[in-house]
A and B are shown apart, each in its own frame.
Chain A
Amino acid sequence: MLIQYLLLIAVGWFLVFFLRHHGTTRAAAGAKLCFVAFVAFSVYAVLRPDDISVLAHWLGVGRGTDLLVYGIAAGFACASINTFLRFKELEVRYAQLARAMALRDGTSGPLEESGDLGQHASDEA
């Protein structure tokens, strides 16, 4: 079926695109365009289900509903990858922030019996 190849190629292309260009303006714009297209498609599918059925038929999918389900599955995969990458990016920044704090407060022992740890760290800084 045509749709199977189209979907696999499209999803594969999207994944590679997002992985390679994540964080660039182009990828951000691409993601927004995809989202707009997805919403437009969904609205159209709600308003004119028969047209979607025709389109589905052309592509070799039985019903319009099936086409919609395929579309949602592909969209979900892309969204998941994007979220994953976004989290990774935040994790890196979070680590950099924590590292900067840690390095600023670095200290060396041995610990004085009287002073507590925080006090000792700021004394050294």
Chain B
Amino acid sequence: MAYDDTWLIVPVYNEGPVVEGLVRDALQTFPNIVCVDDGSQDESAECILRAGAHLVRHPVNLGQGAALQTGIEYARRQPGARYFVTFDADGQHQVVDVQRMLVRLRDGEVDIVVGTRFHDSTRHIPLTKRILLRTVVMLSPRLRMLDLTDAHNGLRAFNRTVADQMNITHNGMGHASEIIDMVRRHSWRIAEEPVTILYTEYSKAKGQSVVNGVNIVFESVLRSGSRR
């Protein structure tokens, strides 16, 4: 299958050690990759260009949510872009999972496919992470209503409709809940796809901490209060 109409959006913040290999690897399948360098202080930008991806650079660090939005806006300006995939730069995500998600999108039954790591055995997920993610789902009526099991999976694939309407305003990590909120507001058809998350030492060191969960919950509560 040709993926000329698909754009991979990779937010990058100080991922110098891994990003070049990741981009080279993904480019073998997906010819269109845009990396958003979120004000990295290391050599991430040079690595991205060397690997041959498109590069957009935030002049200052804004956060992952802002980087995703920038990447989406860049990708949707590109001629022929029909499918969009958000993909983490720390090597957690697999190209084969993306391919499966795209098959479902192309079928036209759904607008957005999000990855879930909660399927079959969940032993490979670190315990604290498992508890945190389960709690988020338990506390969120929206997630339960949409029948979703994994709120904060960075792997998502969506079509043009979703990309055009996507407007992430939470610069930090609160964007995952914000996207779920948009699903409900815009009535996007959503589905989950089981994916494998590789918890390497590198990605574990960079991943979201439990402490960050507090920030996410606080921001979500205020956001639901401030809806006009």
- Chain A contact residues, CB within 8 Å of chain B: 15-16, 19-22, 84-85, 91-92, 94-95, 98-99, 101-103, 105-111, 117, 120-121
> In the complex, which residues of chain A have a beta carbon less than 8 angstroms from the beta carbon of B5?
none
Are A107 and B49 closer than 8 Å at their CB atoms? Answer: yes
Whether B171 sits at the interface, judged by CB under 8 Å, is yes
A98 touches B66 (CB 8 A): yes
List chain B residues, Cβ under 8 A from A121: 57
Q: Taking the nearest CB of chain A, how far is it from the CB of B86, in angstroms?
A: 16
Measured in the bound complex, the distance between the Cα atoms of B56 and A108 in whole Å is: 9
Q: Categorize the interface residue count of chain B.
A: 20 to 34
Contacts of A109 in B (CB 8 A): 48-55
* Further 16 A-B residue pairs, CB within 8 A, beyond A15-B225, A99-B70: A19-B222, A19-B226, A20-B227, A22-B226, A95-B169, A98-B62, A99-B73, A102-B57, A103-B74, A105-B57, A106-B55, A107-B55, A108-B53, A109-B55, A110-B49, A110-B52
Chain A, Cβ-Cβ closest to B45? A117
The answer on a CB contact under 8 Å between B70 and A85 is no
Q: Total A-B pairs in contact (CB under 8 Å)?
A: 81
B70 touches A108 (CB 8 A): no
Pair A103/B226 contact, Cβ less than 8 Å: no
- What's the Cα separation between A107 and B54 when bound, in Å? 6
B142 located at the interface, meaning its Cβ lies under 8 Å from any Cβ of chain A in the complex: no
15 A-B residue pairs with CB within 8 Å: A15-B225, A16-B225, A19-B222, A20-B228, A92-B169, A94-B62, A95-B62, A95-B66, A101-B58, A103-B70, A103-B77, A106-B54, A110-B49, A111-B46, A120-B49
